[in-house]
Amino acid sequence: MKYFASIFLLLSITMGCKSFKKGWNDLNVFPVSYDIELGKQVSGDIASKAKDFPILPESQYPDVYRYIRKITSKILNSGKVENKSQFAWEVKIIKDDKTLNAFATPGGYIYVYTGLIKYLDAEDQLAGVLAHEIAHADRRHSTKQLTKLLGTQILLDIVLNSVSDKKQANANIGKVTTALIGLKFSRSHEAEADKYSVIYLCPTDYSADGAAAFFEKIKNNPTPPEWLSTHPSSSHRVKDIHGEKAKLGCKGNRHYRSEYQRIKKML
């Protein structure tokens, strides 16, 4: 397996000259099909861990799910999401009012916590945060970061299903899930995800700087969530997001505040 991985790595580097030019930090040795397989396995792992990831049952909350999917569909149909048709883009809500977070796995499985939905005030804010997470998956930041953190071998073993010991194979996937939840992206990846949140929202009727409203709000939070602490400073991000919207000349101005409040009350 190690031998194969080395050949694969070499091949990927030789073939991926374009990514190579961007430097080691941005090098992605995985083909897109591996993001898809990794996402499938991680989402399966999350589904099997109801204690850690209590999924809000869709049968009891069909309107909330319909509402969140309406938001992600608008983003995905913006014409700006590169892997729109390749990735799964499935949405799940995690019932945890204390966690202000959302994340997307490689391959586009999107998770949003009830804590985040309840914390925000308007639909365009949630759209901005979801667009940011979609960007991490679509721009393939997560696979790049996971490779850096866990090494190539473990990810290859998972996507190629090459570990026959079931217990070991499950433990490997579990490692990826855990890493993914607390995944710290580089500053440049965060800045790029912020920029893409505006690019994705720009063709929609939402105010394209929805993510900035989230950072404005969280800036005043006495206990900001742990995942936010290493991000670039909130005020810088707000400024850059507004700047990107102005640069692109985005015309959308809808916030859908009352509709958002109505959905929040259902949770």
Site string for Zn ion, 176-205 (x = CB under 5 A): --------------x--x------------
* Shorter beta-carbon distance to Zn ion: residue 45 or 190: 190
Of the candidates 253, 150, 148, the residue with the CA atom closest to the CA atom of residue 210: 253
Kindly determine how many residues on this chain lie close enough to bind Zn ion according to the rule CB under 5 A: 2
x/- string (CB under 5 A) for Zn ion, residues 228-267? Answer: ----------------------------------------
Q: Is the Cβ of residue 100 or residue 193 nearer to Zn ion in the bound state?
A: 193
Closest approach, Cβ 196 to Zn ion, in A, equals 10
Nearer to Zn ion, 64 or 108 (CB): 108
The interface mask with Zn ion, positions 118-157, x = CB under 5 A, is ----------------------------------------
Q: What part of residues 6-35 is at the interface with Zn ion (CB under 5 A)?
A: none
Comparing every residue's Cβ against Zn ion, the nearest one is 193
**Residues that bind Zn ion in the complex, under the rule CB under 5 A:** 190, 193
